[in-house]
Structure 1
Amino acid sequence: MSTVTLKRTQRIHPKKFALWLGIGTVIMMFAGFTSAFIVRRAAGNWVEFELPPLFYMSTLVIAMSSIALFFAQRAFKANHRLQYRNLLGLTFTGGIAFIVLQYAAWMQLASYGILLRGNPSGSFVYVISGVHAAHVLGGVVLLGLFFVRALPKPDPVQELLSEINPERNLGIEMLSVYWHFVGILWLYLLVFFHFYK
Structure 2
Amino acid sequence: MQQVMSERTSNKKMHPHKFTLWVAIGSITMMFAGFTSAYIVKSNQAGWQPVQMPKIFFLSTVLILLSSGTIYLAYRAMKNRETGKYKNLVLLTTLLGLGFVATQFLGFNELWNQNITFKESVAGSFFYIITGVHALHVVGGVIALLVIFARAFSTKTKYYSSTPVEIAGIYWHFVDILWIYLFVFFLLVS
TM-score, normalized by length of structure 1?
0.89
Equivalent position of 1:193 in the other structure: 186
Deviation at 1:84, TM superposition (A): 0.4
Count of equivalent residues: 186
Matches within 5 A, 1:22-61: 22-61=24-63
Indicate the RMSD between aligned Cα atoms, in angstroms.
1.6
Q: Residues 54 and 4 (structure 1 numbering): CA distance in 2 closer, same or farther, change over 3 Å?
A: closer
1:182 to 2:175 alignment: yes
1:62-105 deviations in Å (ceiling 9; x for gaps): 11111111111111111111110111000000111101100100
Letter in 1 for 2:148: F
1:108: how far off?
Answer: 1.0
Q: Which has the larger displacement, 65-74 or 6-15?
A: 6-15
**Residues 125-169 of structure 1: per-residue CA shift (max 9 Å, x gap):** 111010000000000011011011001525xxx43xx33xxxx32
DSSP-derived class of the 2:119 partner: coil
The answer to whether residue 78 in structure 2 is matched with residue 80 in structure 1 is: no
Amino acid at match of 1:61: L
What does 1:1-197 align with in structure 2 at a 5 Å threshold? 7-8=5-6, 9=9, 10-154=12-156, 158-159=157-158, 162-163=159-160, 168-197=161-190
Q: What percentage of residue pairs aligned between the two structures are identical? A: 40
Asked whether the equivalents of residues 97 and 142 of structure 2 are also in contact (C-alpha less than 8 Å), the reply is yes
Distance 1:122 1:25 in 2: 24
Q: Which amino acid aligns with 1:7?
A: M
Tell which structure's C-alpha radius of gyration is larger: 1
From the superposition, tell whether residues 4 and 76 of structure 1 become closer, same or farther in structure 2 (CA, over 3 Å).
closer
Post-superposition offset of 1:7: 3.5
Distance 2:32 2:46 in 1: 22
The CA deviation at 1:117 is: 2.4
Which structure 2 residue ranges, 5 or more long, are not aligned?
none
Q: How many angstroms does 1:34 deviate by? A: 0.3
DSSP-derived class of the 1:7 partner: helix
Q: TM-score, normalised by structure 2?
A: 0.92
